[in-house]
Amino acid sequence: MKKEELKDRIDVASEPMTCEIERGMLKRFVQAIGDDNPLWQDEVYAGKTKYGGTVVPPTFLIIIGNEQFHSYTSEIFASFPNNLNGGTELEFYQPVRPGDKLILTTKLTDVYERDIKVGRATFAIFETSFQNKKEGLTAIYRQTAIFY
């Protein structure tokens, strides 16, 4: 793929993928970070908060989105092996709870060029949306890739 062809991919969405928020995956996530906030695992504590029960750490959605992101971008990253992580942005609209089923869709939303230290680079913004059937839009995860 050439850089000029990247723009043709803008707004071409992946197939939606359904993910169940699974307790084992959540446990491995909080253990890896070292986050023992009782809001994630203590129903008695969480029941007394505005959430009414345990919820997942907001950044857990990064993990959930990874599989689809890699699938959607594998051809792009293979074409541009010199790449940097340009940043991450997360917007949260609804809490997510263990057992929830979320529908994920990923798409390239923007491509532009900018000069960086090593020369002219192409910036690509990828966006993953997380939808809950009952609650609607739950979160948006944007990642910036820099190809140089």
Q: Which residues would be at the binding site for other proteins (CB under 8 A)?
A: 25, 28-29, 31-35, 37, 39, 45-46, 48-51, 57-59, 62-63, 66-67, 70, 84-92, 95
- How far apart CA 73 and CA 78 sit, in angstroms, is 8
Cβ neighbours, 10 Å, residue 129: 20
Q: What is the 3-state secondary structure (H, E, C) of 92-148?
A: ECCCCCCCCEEEEEEEEEEEEEEEECCEEEEEEEEEEEEEECCCEEEEEEEEEEEEC
Cβ 108 to other proteins, closest distance in Å? 19
Cβ 120 to other proteins, closest distance in Å? 20
Toward other proteins, which CB reaches closer, 17 or 62? 62
Cβ 148 to other proteins, closest distance in Å? 14
Toward other proteins, which CB reaches closer, 89 or 113? 89
Toward other proteins, which CB reaches closer, 122 or 143? 143
Contact call for residues 68 and 102 (beta carbons, < 8 A)? no
